[in-house]
């Protein structure tokens, strides 16, 4: 009795790494893609162009690289996402990227999230990304005022490491690092 042959789907689809339906729609636009991926400890952003033999990364930034500019806080919060996006936008402009289209992969589209904070940084750097203003986070959240406000109201025993860092200064440190990025350091 003959056995039925099991047909496997595409490997990257099975591993939940690539949404081919969404990818095809993005590639039909023939524009540079702004790829944003959020991990538990960092945020990765890249400008990517399509090539028949494989996508070509024009330039990429990881939020951990903010540590080189003096950022001593978490590299996966809203302020660090904005700063990493600003850094990617500046590097992209140097490489000739003028406009891009957002590629979020499997991430859900949540207004005011870290993905959209990253996109706001890219837009503020001067790269054109078509996106609704309603999706972008408020400026007070981008500066980290919500983090400083929460830590002021937190009990003394909690967050001892953050108290040593003087987390209430996150807004001032945000402006310092933003200035360094815009100055090109």
pLDDT digits (tens, 9 = 90+) for 98-122: 999 898 877 788 898 899 999 999 9
Q: Which CATH code is given to the segment(s) 19-183? A: 3.30.420.100
In the structure encoding, which two tokens stand for residue 114, read together? 């870290």
pLDDT digits (tens, 9 = 90+) for 151-172: 777 666 565 565 566 556 788 8
- Domains of the chain, residue spans: 19-183
Distances in whole angstroms, Cα of residue 57 to Cα of each of 30, 36, 47:
15, 13, 6
Query: Residue 52's pLDDT is what?
Result: 84
Report residue 61's pLDDT band, with 50, 70 and 90 as the boundaries.
Answer: very high
**Is the whole model's pTM more than 0.95, yes or no?**
no
Report residue 14's pLDDT band, with 50, 70 and 90 as the boundaries.
Answer: confident
Can you say whether residue 96 is alpha, beta or left, with left for phi > 0 and alpha for psi between -120 and 50 degrees? Answer: left
């Amino acid at each position: 009795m003959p056995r039925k042959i099991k047909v496997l789907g595409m490997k990257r689809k099975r591993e939940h790494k690539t949404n081919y339906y969404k990818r095809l729609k993005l590639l039909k636009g023939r524009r540079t893609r702004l790829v944003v991926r959020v991990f538990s400890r960092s945020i990765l952003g890249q400008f990517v162009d399509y090539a028949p033999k494989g996508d070509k990364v024009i330039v990429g930034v990881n939020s951990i690289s903010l540590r080189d500019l003096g950022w001593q806080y978490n590299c996966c919060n809203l302020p660090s996402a904005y700063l990493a996006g600003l850094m990617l936008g500046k590097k992209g402009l140097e490489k000739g990227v003028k406009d891009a289209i957002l590629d979020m992969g499997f991430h859900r589209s949540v207004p005011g999230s870290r993905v959209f904070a990253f996109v706001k940084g890219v837009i503020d750097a001067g790269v054109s990304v078509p996106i609704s203003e309603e999706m972008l986070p408020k400026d007070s959240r981008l500066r980290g005022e919500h983090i400083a406000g929460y830590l002021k109201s937190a009990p003394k025993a909690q967050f001892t490491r953050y108290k040593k860092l003087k987390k209430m200064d996150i807004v001032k440190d945000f402006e310092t690092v933003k200035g360094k990025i815009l100055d090109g350091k």
